[in-house]
Structures are given as structure tokens and as C-alpha cells.
Amino acid sequence: MSSLKPCVDALYEGVDRVAQSIPGVPKSEVLLVRLLMLTAGALLREFENKLKPYGMNDSDFRTLMMLYSSEDGSATPGELCALAEQKPTNMTRIANALAKKALISRSHATHDRRQVLLRITPAGRRFVNKMLPPMFPPLMENFACFSSTERKTFEKLLKKLALHIDPTVDTDDTP
């Protein structure tokens, strides 16, 4: 799309200017959270551009990959929701879309007939095997600005953050 540089510059300037009007602005944290969202957004858009030719978006793809990488190639919508931070509503639609492309199959679980069992099909596996490798080089390019030490550090911090932020979310959505 367009360069992120002006966005980043404007962000730094903007935060500085706001901090002059309002006391106590946690500049560092604001910058972090905005940079995170900006970067993640850009990466997401780039990835979805690559998926578009296949008629897929990132959620569809992630769901397919979760099935691909699951123990026995199957899972229930509920399990997938939990692992993908998705709502059941959306998972229904994703499953419909993937099933329509014959990349996954749907059946009822035997022991609990409320559950639905989604399973990746051989065609689904072939699809992943074929479309995934070409995506590696551009993905690696994205992080080419990092030394391997930096990549490790970044991953460590990111993981720490991911595991930390969660409890906070819980505390204040039921007033």
C-alpha cells in the first residue's frame, strides 16, 4: 500500500503534542501500543493480499492451518474458536466457506451429537502443501531487518507481552 514512515512520524509528533496539553500521558506505552497495531495491520494487509488470489482471508487460512497442524486433522468449531480467538458465529461462516471449497469436511461427533467435527480433506492438505512455500520468502523479507539476535529478543519480548496482557482484559468488561 503506502509507506508507514509518515504514519510513524506523525505518531511520534502527535504523542508529543498531546503530552503538552494533557499531563501524565504515558508516552512510551502509547507509542508501543500504536506501533504494534500499525505494524500488525500492515503485515496483515500484506498477507491478505497474498491470500486473495485463493479467495481466502487470514481467518479462513488460520482455521485451515489449525486443522492441518492438529493431531489427527480434525477439531470441533468450539476448539478452533478458543485457539483462534474467534467467536462461534464467525467460525460457522469460516467452516461454511472452507467446506464449500472442499478443503474441509463436516460431520457430527459420535459421542456428543451437539458437536460438529471439522476435518481437513486430502485436497485441503494438498492445497496447503502447494500454496504455503511460495509465501516463505516474502515473509522472511519482512523480518530481514533483524539480526538473528534481534529476532530472538523481539520474539521473547513479544511472547512475554502476549502472555501478560490477557488478565487485564478480563477485569473491566463487566461493570
Residues between 31 and 60 with contacts to DNA, criterion CB under 7 A: 57-59
**Minimum distance of DNA from residue 115's CB (angstroms):** 4
Residue 80 near residue 91 (C-beta atoms within 8 A):
yes
Stretch that binds a second copy, among 37-45, 88-96, 100-108, 110-118 (CB under 8 A): 37-45
Residue from the set 24, 29, 71, 113 that interacts with DNA by CB under 7 A? 113
123 near a second copy (CB under 8 A)? no
Q: Which partner in DNA, a second copy, none is near 120 (CB below 5 to 8 A by kind)?
A: none
**Minimum distance of a second copy from residue 37's CB (angstroms):** 5
Residue position matching grid coordinates 481466502: 56
Q: How far is CA 154 from CA 46, 141, 147, 168, 169, in A?
A: 20, 16, 10, 22, 23
105 near DNA (CB under 7 A)? no
110 near a second copy (CB under 8 A)? no
Go through 64-98 and write b for each residue having 16 or more CB atoms within 10 A of its CB, e for each that does not.
bebbbebeebbbbbeebbeebebeeeebeebbebb
Residue from the set 69, 92, 107, 129 that interacts with DNA by CB under 7 A? 92
Give CA–CA dist 8/103, Å, rounded.
40
Within 8 A by CB and 6+ apart from 77, the residues are: 88, 91, 92, 95, 116, 118
Expressed in angstroms, the distance from the first to the final Cα of the chain is: 40
Residue from the set 2, 89, 149, 171 that interacts with DNA by CB under 7 A? 89
Residue 63 near residue 97 (C-beta atoms within 8 A):
no
Q: Which partner in a second copy, DNA, none is near 44 (CB below 5 to 8 A by kind)?
A: a second copy
Please say which residue, 25 or 74, places its beta carbon nearer to DNA: 74
Residue from the set 28, 110, 113, 114 that interacts with a second copy by CB under 8 A? 28
41 near a second copy (CB under 8 A)? yes
